[in-house]
């Protein structure tokens, strides 16, 4: 499977650019049905599955020297394997599956495979689900790569882009606007509504010289000893009422919003109640990002 992934990765950039040109010229990505070629011409004969056209043999013109994947993609198909494919799915079929996942995240490839066989009046075969899954994985990688390119072109791939542009009224300035004593008014608070039980896979355990090292909370490491001496910054006692939260890994979120009610960012509260470190870390983040003239309204009585 890793070899298959590596082979796809080698072609990812070229397939992404080709998909972009095809999508631009043919937005519906309808398959191209070529006529049966002459005996002396080069072509690829392959089973193709389309949501509307069903399962049919296609003759895809192929020079033989260029990439076979490019020839298939030009015809509107994507196979599950990059080498010697025996079957391919149409792009509009994969696009439909992608849209179904967007509107119904619990929708499964198994259901879609059975839908295809039911529509085309064929017998369901288990390998169809595997083939479809592999083809969709590559299709999704192409879409993700394309999304990354668009984000880069728009300049949205820089760190904290969302924070910098979250509220136009707070973060945008008009020309010759005078600086005011308070430019940016925000508030923050925590809640325990979004809690998660501990998951083993979320603990980073690296075996180093025979010892296990656990991932440290980055927020804790930034707090000095003097600050930890403060009662509100200490961990929750096991026997306290709030100690019940210790069965949780993430106990809630600490949200920071501007005066227009637009969320600036959220911080996970990890194995603790609402402690001072969350407001302090939020303040540090805001100062680092926006500099001065910030008014951060926070009720310290909220801290446990
Ligand atoms: Zn605002």
Tell me the two tokens of residue 26. Answer: 């043919």
> If you measure from the C-alpha of residue 166 to the centroid of ligand 1, how many angstroms do you get, rounded to a whole number?
8
> If you measure from the C-alpha of residue 240 to the centroid of ligand 1, how many angstroms do you get, rounded to a whole number?
38
- At 89 the pLDDT is 95
Asked whether the whole model's pTM tops 0.75, one would answer no
Q: How many residues does the chain have?
A: 304
Interval 137-193: pLDDT, tens = 999 999 999 999 999 999 888 888 889 899 999 888 888 888 888 889 999 988 877
Which of 110-119, 226-235, 239-248 has the largest mean confidence? 110-119
> If you measure from the C-alpha of residue 186 to the centroid of ligand 1, how many angstroms do you get, rounded to a whole number?
8
Question: 296: buried, middle or exposed (CB in 10 Å: 19+, 13-18, 0-12)?
Answer: middle
Considering the chain, what is the average pLDDT of its residues?
82
> If you measure from the C-alpha of residue 157 to the centroid of ligand 1, how many angstroms do you get, rounded to a whole number?
22
- The span from the CA of 106 to the CA of 97, in Å, is 12
> If you measure from the C-alpha of residue 219 to the centroid of ligand 1, how many angstroms do you get, rounded to a whole number?
26
> If you measure from the C-alpha of residue 185 to the centroid of ligand 1, how many angstroms do you get, rounded to a whole number?
8
Are the C-beta atoms of 31 and 97 separated by less than 8 Å? no
> If you measure from the C-alpha of residue 145 to the centroid of ligand 1, how many angstroms do you get, rounded to a whole number?
32
> If you measure from the C-alpha of residue 293 to the centroid of ligand 1, how many angstroms do you get, rounded to a whole number?
14
Please say if the pLDDT value at position 107 is more than 80: yes
- The domain limits of the chain are 2-153, 161-302
Q: What is the three-state SS of the chain?
A: CHHHHHHHHHHHHHHHHHHHHHHHHCCCCCCCCCCCCCCCCCEEEEEEEECCCEEEEEEEECCCCCCHHHHHHHCCEECCCCCCCCEEEEHHHHHHHHHHHHHCCCCCHHHHHHHHHHHCCCCCCHHHHHHHHHHHHHHHHHHHHHHHHHHHHCCCCCCCHHHHCCCHHHHCCCCCCCCCCCCEEEEEEEECCCCEECCHHHCCCEEECCEEECCCCHHHHCCCHHHHCCHHHCCCCCCCHHHHHHHEEEEEEEEEEECCCCEEEEEEEECCCCCHHHHHHHHHHHHHHHCCCEEEECCHHHCC
What is the mean pLDDT of the segment spanning 8-18? Answer: 91
- The span from the CA of 286 to the CA of 170, in Å, is 13
> If you measure from the C-alpha of residue 167 to the centroid of ligand 1, how many angstroms do you get, rounded to a whole number?
5
- At 202 the pLDDT is 46
Tell me the two tokens of residue 150. Answer: 């668009």
Are the C-beta atoms of 92 and 36 separated by less than 8 Å? no
Please say if the pLDDT value at position 251 is more than 50: yes
> If you measure from the C-alpha of residue 194 to the centroid of ligand 1, how many angstroms do you get, rounded to a whole number?
24
- At 150 the pLDDT is 94
- Residue percentage of the chain with pLDDT more than 70: 81
> If you measure from the C-alpha of residue 262 to the centroid of ligand 1, how many angstroms do you get, rounded to a whole number?
6
> If you measure from the C-alpha of residue 259 to the centroid of ligand 1, how many angstroms do you get, rounded to a whole number?
5
> If you measure from the C-alpha of residue 245 to the centroid of ligand 1, how many angstroms do you get, rounded to a whole number?
33
> If you measure from the C-alpha of residue 273 to the centroid of ligand 1, how many angstroms do you get, rounded to a whole number?
27
> If you measure from the C-alpha of residue 278 to the centroid of ligand 1, how many angstroms do you get, rounded to a whole number?
21
């Amino acid at each position: 499977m890793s070899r298959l992934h590596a082979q796809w990765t080698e072609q990812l950039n070229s397939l992404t650019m080709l998909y972009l040109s095809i999508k631009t010229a043919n937005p519906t990505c309808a398959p191209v049905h070529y006529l049966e070629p002459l005996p002396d011409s080069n072509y690829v004969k392959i089973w193709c599955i389309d949501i509307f056209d069903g399962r049919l043999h296609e003759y895809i013109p192929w020079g033989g020297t260029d990439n076979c994947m490019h020839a298939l993609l030009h015809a509107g198909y994507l196979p599950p394997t990059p080498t010697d494919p025996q079957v391919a799915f149409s792009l509009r079929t994969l696009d439909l599956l992608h849209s179904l996942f967007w509107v119904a995240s619990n929708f499964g490839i198994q259901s879609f495979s059975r839908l295809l066989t039911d529509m085309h009046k064929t017998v369901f075969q288990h390998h169809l689900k595997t083939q479809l899954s592999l083809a969709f994985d590559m299709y999704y990688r192409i879409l993700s790569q394309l999304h990354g390119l668009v984000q880069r072109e728009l300049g949205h791939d820089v760190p904290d882009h969302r924070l910098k542009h979250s509220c136009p009224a707070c973060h945008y300035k008009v020309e010759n606007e005078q600086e005011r004593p308070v430019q940016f008014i925000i508030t923050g608070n925590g809640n325990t509504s979004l809690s998660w039980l501990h998951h083993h896979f979320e603990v980073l355990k690296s075996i180093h010289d025979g010892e296990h090292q656990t991932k440290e909370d980055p927020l804790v490491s930034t707090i000095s000893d003097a600050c930890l001496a403060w009662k509100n910054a200490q961990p929750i006692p096991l026997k306290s009422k709030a100690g019940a939260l210790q069965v949780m890994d993430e106990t809630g979120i600490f949200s920071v919003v501007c005066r227009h009610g637009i969320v600036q960012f959220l911080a996970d509260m990890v194995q603790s109640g609402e402690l001072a470190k969350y407001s302090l870390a939020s303040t540090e983040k805001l100062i680092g990002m926006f500099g001065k003239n910030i008014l951060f309204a926070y009720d310290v009585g909220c801290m446990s």
